[in-house]
Copies of this chain bind each other. A is one copy, B any other.
Amino acid sequence: MTRKIPVKTLHRFSMIYCCLLESLAAGVSRISSRILGSQLGSTADSIRKEINYLGEVGDVGSGYDVAKLAGRISDVCGFEKRRTVAIAGLGKVGSALLENPEFENAGFDIVAGFDSNTNILETLTSKVPLYPASELTDWVKKLNIEIGIIAVPPSAAADCAARFVAGGVSGLVNFSSTTVAVAQKGIIVRNLDMICELRFINSLMTANQKA
C-alpha cells in the first residue's frame, strides 16, 4: 500500500508540516486541502494527491484534523528523529544561526561551530563548542554530525562542502551565494542562494513585463 513517495512530495510534506504547526499554534484544529493549497501556493487537487501517499488520513466532508495529519507526516518523514548539525562560518549569519532556538525546537541539535578565523573563535561566546575550520572533517566524524550548514564566503564554500563530505555528512544546506554541488551519490545538497533567487525573481519580472 505504501507507494514510493516522490522526492518532490517529501519536500512538500516539510512545507505542509510547517503550515500545520502554525495552524496548531494559532488554535486551528481542522484544515482543508484548499486552505493548505492556498497557503503553499499550490492547488487543492495537488495537496490531496500528495497527502494520499500517507494513506487515508482525512475525514470526507470536513477536511483534515491538523494534529493528526501533522503526526502522520512526522511519522512517515521521521521528524521525531533528532539530527546533529554543525555550522561552518561564524560571521554574522553563521553566528546568528548558532543562537537560533528554532533548530532545537524543530529537532536539530547544533553540536559544533567552525571558522577559519581563530580570532572569531576566541571572541565568540556560545553554548555550542567552536573549532577551527581545519579540524572540521575530524570533528564531523567524531561527533557523528549528520548535516552541515555552510555559511562561509562564496569563495570558501566548495572547499567547506568537501570537508563536510569527507567527514561523512548526509546532507548540506548551503547559504553562500554559490551553487554547491557534490558528486557523491546519496548526499543531499540544498542551495539557499539569495542572489540566485533575486536573479530568478528579476527574470520573472522581465518575463511578465514582456508578456
Q: Residues on A close to B: CB < 8 A?
A: 5, 7, 10-11, 13-15, 17-19, 22, 38-41, 76-79, 81, 83, 85, 91-93, 95-97, 99, 102-103, 106-108, 146-147, 149, 154, 170-171, 173, 175, 177-179, 181-183, 186, 188-208
Contact = CB atoms under 8 A, between A and B. Distances in A.
Contact of A92 (B96, B171, B189): B96
Contacts of A208: 170, 186
B207 A194 contact: no
A108 B179 CA distance: 19
A199 B14 contact: yes
B198 A108 contact: yes
Given A7-B204, A179-B18, A205-B78, A173 B194 contact: yes
Contacts of A7: 204
Q: How many copies of this chain does one complex carry?
A: 2
B79 A203 contact: yes
Contacts of A13: 203
Contacts of A149: 194
B202 A107 contact: yes
B17 A199 contact: yes
B200 A10 contact: yes
A13 B200 CA distance: 8
A92 B99 CA distance: 10
Given A102-B195, A173-B198, A178 B18 contact: yes
Contacts of A207: 5, 10, 77
Contact of A195 (B18, B91, B183): B18
Contacts of A146: 205
B173 A106 contact: no
Given A93-B93, A195-B18, A199-B17, A41 B10 contact: no
